[in-house]
Amino acid sequence: MIPVPEKRIAEFENRAFGMFIHWGLYSSLRQGEWTLNIHKIPENKYRECFNNFTAEDFDADKIVSLAKKAGMKYITLTTRHHDGFSLYDTRGLSNYDVMHTPCKRDLIKEFVDACNKQDMLPMFYHTTLDWIHPDFDKNFDAYLEYLRKSVEILCTHYGKIGGLWFDGNWSKRGADWKLDELYGMIHRLQPDAMIINNTGLSEQGKTGHPEIDSVTFEQGQATPMNREGMPKYVTAEMCQTMNRHWGIAEYDIDYKSPRQMIERLTHARKVGANYLLNIGLDAQGGITKMSEALLETIGIWTNMAKESLYEGKPCELICSHQKDFVLKKGKDYFVYVHDLNLLGPKDVVAAYKSTTEGHCIKGITGKVKSMKWVDNNEELLFTQKEDILSYRAVGFYYGRHYIVRIAKIEIEENE
């Protein structure tokens, strides 16, 4: 038996595409979020970042609008990263928070308010690993108490939140993290919140504590989940950076192309997983030009794909071309067709791959009424024989190229 997802998990899964944001004191140094640890930044230098943190460029409304444009339906923001600094008002729990910097604004409140205004789901990333809290190594139980209190603040002062995204348990794999207490508290205070705990680069897709609602595939490729016999339906999420770092890194120019990101997103949907795409904000919270441009570009695709991208579910149909797959929504099927050419005279356009013909799908039982490209409503030529649907997948007409093209397949009503 495959368990039915709880409503909150089903809703999260239908959000499909989220924005991950890494931002903190490390952003001022512009060399990645691990800089304090890896580059062994002296305490006084890191203190300068704290003393100069104004967040003057942080415009939460603008970030939410950009996420919307990109077709993202939730945002997961680092409320505290491994350097221990909190972007929220810890209400006396710690002096190492935003209220003790010149900024003196609760940035998490600004973030949540902006999300609520624009119907965006706010999620909180929170580290469990802490490089600077003395108790992390010396008195782990006391540290866990501090961690619980920190999370309690996030669960009580910001209204309804989408969920908690923990990261860092991989730093002490054998330890007793007292997860029952932490997760139990979240469950009590925020019954609809998703609880996610990143299993890290080396344990992608691994299930964990019974309260965990989604597995993670950090920087990976989501794989289908075998939910047979699971005590509850657990969903999946794959998170990825646009370049190589999560926090801003000025000299990391290894950006993925819109093709790479869109194909990761479609691959995630193929197996029913969400795709959480990261941007690193600038020192004082501004959005970089590159993130903005890439997200707006991806938004052109998600806007085209929206009819099936969010609520379309993986199905068993088999496609002739390896990267292609079909999602099902209600009675309709949507085939995601990859690697089509840009059409045009041979002397003008370079072919991407040599073949655009000979596509088919195996396993459709109903009689197909119509098949249309969703980007221009054009009908496709098709024939149906037994359970094989063959169709002519033309490429993109000169002047446009969507990378992954989607055709909607409608089945006769009385089937």
| DSSP-assigned letter for residue 33 | T
CB 50 within 8 A of CB 251: no
Residues 167-196 that bind ligand GLC (CB under 6 A): 167
Site for ligand GLC in 220-239 (CB under 6 A): 239
Cβ closer to ligand GLC: 131 or 233? Answer: 131
Closest distance of CB 34 from ligand GLC, Å: 6
Q: Which residues contact 402 (CB under 8 A, 6 or more apart)?
A: 300, 301, 304, 375, 396
Confirm or reject binding of residue 86 to ligand GLC (CB under 6 A). Answer: no
How far apart CA 284 and CA 224 sit, in angstroms, is: 39
* Two tokens, residue 297: 């570009």
Residue partners of 328: CB distance under 8 A and separation at least 6:
312, 313, 314, 315, 334
Q: Does 198 bind ligand GLC (CB under 6 A)?
A: yes
Q: How far is the CB of 326 from ligand GLC (least distance, A)?
A: 30
Mask 152-171, x = binds ligand GLC (CB under 6 A)?
A: ---------------x----
CB atoms within 10 A of CB 213: 23
Q: Report the distance separating Cα 114 and Cα 59, nearest Å.
A: 9
The binder of ligand GLC chosen from 61, 69, 91, 200 (CB under 6 A): 200
Q: Cβ closer to ligand GLC: 238 or 317?
A: 238
* CB 203 to ligand GLC: min, Å: 11
Residue with smaller CB distance to ligand GLC, 34 or 140: 34
- Of 89, 97, 218, 263, the residue at the interface with ligand GLC (CB under 6 A) is 218
CB of 218 to ligand GLC, least distance (A): 5
Closest residue by Cα to residue 88 from 100, 76, 79: 79
Q: Which is nearer to ligand GLC, 183 or 217 (CB)?
A: 217
Smallest separation, CB 38 to ligand GLC (Å):
10
Closer to ligand GLC by CB, 50 or 246: give it. Answer: 246
We find the least distance from the C-beta atom of residue 245 to ligand GLC, in angstroms, to be 8
What is the closest distance, in whole angstroms, from the C-beta atom of residue 153 to ligand GLC in the complex?
20
Tell me how many degrees the CA angle 15-18-20 measures, rounded to the nearest 5: 155
Q: Quick one: 41 or 404, whose CB is closer to ligand GLC? A: 41
Q: Does the footprint of ligand GLC cover residue 246 (CB under 6 A)?
A: yes
User: Nearest distance from residue 204's CB to ligand GLC, in Å?
Assistant: 11
* Cβ-Cβ contacts under 8 Å for 109 (sequence gap 6 or more): 88, 89, 157, 158
Tell me: does residue 130 bind ligand GLC (CB under 6 A).
no
- Residue 126 host element (H or E): strand 121-127
Closest CA to 264 of 272, 275, 255: 275
**Total interface residues for ligand GLC by CB under 6 A:** 9
Q: In whole angstroms, give the CA distance from residue 90 to residue 153.
A: 7
Shortest spacing between CB 71 and ligand GLC, in angstroms? 21
Please list every residue from 19 through 38 that binds ligand GLC, using CB under 6 A. 22, 33-34
Q: Which is nearer to ligand GLC, 23 or 391 (CB)?
A: 23
Tell me the closest approach of the beta carbon of residue 44 to ligand GLC, in angstroms: 23
Do residues 83 and 46 lie in contact, with contact meaning Cβ atoms separated by under 8 Å?
yes
17 vs 301 by CB, closer to ligand GLC? 17
Of the two residues 244 and 369, which places its CB atom closer to ligand GLC in the complex? 244
Contacts of 318 (CB under 8 A, 6+ apart): 361, 362, 363
Taking the least distance from each CB to ligand GLC, the nearer of 237 and 324 is: 237
Calpha distance 250→71 (Å, rounded)? 26
Interactions with ligand GLC, residue window 355-384 (CB under 6 A): none
Q: What's the closest the beta carbon of residue 276 comes to ligand GLC, in angstroms?
A: 8
* Strand, helix or coil for residue 32: coil
How does DSSP classify residue 244?
S
Of 33 and 339, which has the nearer Cβ to ligand GLC?
Answer: 33
Vertex 280, ends 278 and 283: CA angle to 5°?
Answer: 165
Dist. CA 259–CA 243, nearest whole Å = 14
Binding site for ligand GLC (CB under 6 A): 22, 33-34, 167, 198, 200, 218, 239, 246
